[in-house]
Amino acid sequence: MAKGKRIMITGGAGFIGSNIANALCASNTVMILDNMHSGSVDNVEESKKLGAEFFKGDSGSIASTHFDPDVIFHLGIYSSTPMYRSNHKLVASVVSDAIGVFDFAAERGIPVVFASSSSIYNGHSGLHHEGLVPKVTDYYTEARIAVERLAELYASMSGLDATALRQFSIYGPHDEKKGIFGNLITQFMLSMGRGEQPVIYGDGTQARDFTYVSDVMDAYTMAAKLKGFNLLNVGRGESYTINQMIEKLNEKLGTEIQPKYIQNPLKNYVDRTEADTSKAEKVMGFRAKVNLEEGINKLYDYLLESGQLGTAAVQKNTEDKSGEAR
């Protein structure tokens, strides 16, 4: 992305949005709009120190910021399925916010790149490509499909440049602030670091396409240049079972913790996600760079340096270092 741009990030106090804000604010003017529903105060403070401005409000109130952006990254959308399970009226807010953002952008000719989700592929097996017809099984997914369809409508009726990024299981720094809504890699690294058994729904053979947050950030900046309406997968393009992921965490943490398997309490639980990213590669040259081992290493270093890893992992790290010294 060219430098010296004015960038609006809705949801910029959240996990992904704050990573984007922190990376871009050194060479651009960044405004964060967030209603702090699941955003973290720490993330905002960090971004503000790095130069970002902050406005508290719903994404749909974008005009109230009086910020005049060159591009909008719209991630300020309620971010987890359970939130909608307890309040399905969030679907209406998500659509209303999207209309606010798209109206604002279309009137001013500003491109919008927005967060969509791999959950749209729930119920489909095999490699997930953008041409699959969604089978809606929950309110969270319905909200994402509605926003994608609205974006396509604005593109055809008002000439809006809008790109939906269907993101696959993202993890990385600041994900830990999401607590139980965070990625399993983050949750398990923290719990296993404390010496606790990770709790797994079913037998652990379910698989996820785990994607490191810096790759997602790249996708947003690449998509900012696209014209018209685009629907693109953003994933690593390879899947690991939860059992395999736990094995890698044990290796990294130097632990031998066995998972605790329990009966799956969730309906519509997804068995496997795996992104076909060939369209994103063709349209904007996107290809995820960080593999699972590298991503786990980066997250480990971040959690260790920020003092968030428990004693089991810290002890291992100290032993490793003393081993190196000898």
Ligand X SMILES: NC(=O)c1ccc[n+]([C@@H]2O[C@H](COP(=O)([O-])OP(=O)(O)OC[C@H]3O[C@@H](n4cnc5c(N)ncnc54)[C@H](O)[C@@H]3O)[C@@H](O)[C@H]2O)c1
With CB under 6 A as the contact rule, the residue among 28, 35, 230, 239 that binds ligand X is: 35
To the nearest whole angstrom, how small is the minimum distance from the Cβ of residue 78 to ligand X?
5
Distance in Å, CB of 308 to ligand X, minimum: 16
Identify whether the C-beta of residue 292 lies closer than 8 Å to the C-beta of residue 230. no
Place of tokens 């430098």: 3
CA–CA gap between residue 207 and residue 271 (Å, rounded): 6
Q: Does 186 bind ligand X (CB under 6 A)?
A: no
* Element at 262 (helix H, strand E): strand 260-262
Q: Pick from 20, 77, 185, 253 the residue near ligand X by CB under 6 A.
A: 77
C-beta of 29 vs 43, nearer to ligand X: 43
**Residue 10 in the binding site for ligand X (CB under 6 A):** yes
Determine if 274 is a binding residue for ligand X (CB under 6 A). Answer: no
Site string for ligand X, 143-182 (x = CB under 6 A): ------------------------x-xx-------x----
Q: DSSP characters for 12-57?
A: TTSHHHHHHHHHHTTTSEEEEEE--SS--HHHHHHHHHTT-EEEES
DSSP state of 275: B
Number of residue whose CB is nearest ligand X: 14
Rounded to whole angstroms, how far apart are CA atoms 30 and 67?
10
By CB under 6 A, tell whether 299 contacts ligand X.
Answer: no
Residue 223 interacts with ligand X (CB under 6 A): yes or no: no
Closest CA to 40 of 178, 204, 152: 178
CB of 144 to ligand X, least distance (A): 7
Q: Which helix (H) or strand (E) holds 162?
A: strand 162-167
Verify binding: residue 36, ligand X, rule CB under 6 A. yes
Q: Measure the CA–CA gap between 240 and 292, rounded to whole angstroms.
A: 9
Q: Tell me if 104 contacts ligand X by CB under 6 A.
A: no
Residues 57-76 that bind ligand X (CB under 6 A): 58-59, 75-76
Q: Which of 22, 62, 69, 97 binds ligand X (CB under 6 A)?
A: 97
Contact 45, 69 (CB under 8 A): no
Binding residue (CB under 6 A) for ligand X from 7, 8, 9, 11: 11
Q: Does 78 bind ligand X (CB under 6 A)?
A: yes
User: For the CA atoms of the chain, what is the radius of gyration?
Assistant: 20
Please, which residue, 39 or 173, has the CB nearer to ligand X? 39
Backbone angles phi, psi at 40, to 5 degrees: -110, 135
Binding site for ligand X (CB under 6 A): 10-11, 13-17, 34-39, 58-59, 75-79, 93, 97, 115, 117, 167, 169-170, 178, 183
